[in-house]
Amino acid sequence: MRTGDESYDYSLQRSLRDKFNNLFYVLGHCPESEQEQKIEELNEIIDEMDGSAIHWTFTKDLFNKMDKMIEEKKLSMENAIVLLKHLGHRAVLVGYLCSKLRDSSLRKRIEKMIIEENEKKEGRKEKLMIDLCESYLLLSATEIFEELFPISVPCLLNVALKKEGNEKTQKEVEVALLALSCIDKYEV
């Protein structure tokens, strides 16, 4: 039996899903100069979502749409990663395994990018590599591509071992450790 509070929570979470979906649609039609602001707004909505709202919002279809937006240059990969990292962080905090990424074209894009970036001898973008690995581990639910395990773990361990005391570095270390803490649930 539901109480009024449970019904309100359901309504609130449904409202958050609707807001997210509407804003995500707008994101694909706004210039890149406005995307960062829209991503911040989307992340604020994600911060209010519980596991159920995440489950019903972040579907395979949404991840495929995000991949298509990247392919069509309607969304930069950098902005997509900001959104994905935030989603992964929130999903782990609310105890939700975000399994919908598993069969999406976006997952394949992320895996390919990690492998390609790792193979670069010169010009490797460390920040991109870290962000890709964190996003991948936080969102891969219970399964990661076997070839990515020995790439992602050392990359994030290097971040976790930073000893600088500033707030930005501390946040980077915390996210890396959170991503690494997800490893125990993976089937490799």
List, as one string, the DSSP characters of 82-139: HHHHHHHHHHHHTT---GGGTTSHHHHHHHHHHHHHHH-SSS--HHHHHHHHHHHHHH
Domain count for the chain:
1
The two tokens of residue 110 are 């992320």
Domain that includes residue 21, residue range: 4-185
- Give me the tens of pLDDT residue by residue for the chain, a chain 188 residues long: 344 444 547 888 889 999 999 999 999 999 888 999 999 999 999 999 998 899 899 999 999 999 999 999 999 999 999 999 999 889 888 888 777 888 899 999 999 999 999 999 888 898 999 999 989 888 876 677 778 888 988 888 888 887 666 777 777 877 787 777 766 654 44
Phi, psi (5° rounding) for residue 7?
-65, -40
Predicted pLDDT of residue 121: 81
Predicted pLDDT of residue 48: 94
Predicted pLDDT of residue 184: 61
Predicted pLDDT of residue 139: 86
Predicted pLDDT of residue 183: 66
Residue 150: how many other CB atoms lie within 10 Å = 11
Rounded (10°) angle between helices 32-48 and 4-27: 170
Element (H, E) at 39: helix 32-48
pTM of the entire predicted model: 0.82
Predicted pLDDT of residue 72: 95
Query: Do the beta carbons of residue 182 and residue 137 sit within 8 Å?
Result: yes
- Nearest alpha-carbon partner for 86 in 40, 55, 125: 40
The two tokens of residue 136 are 């991948």
Q: In sequence order, what are the residues at sequence separation of 6 or more whose Cβ sits closer than 8 angstroms to the Cβ of residue 113? A: 77, 128, 132
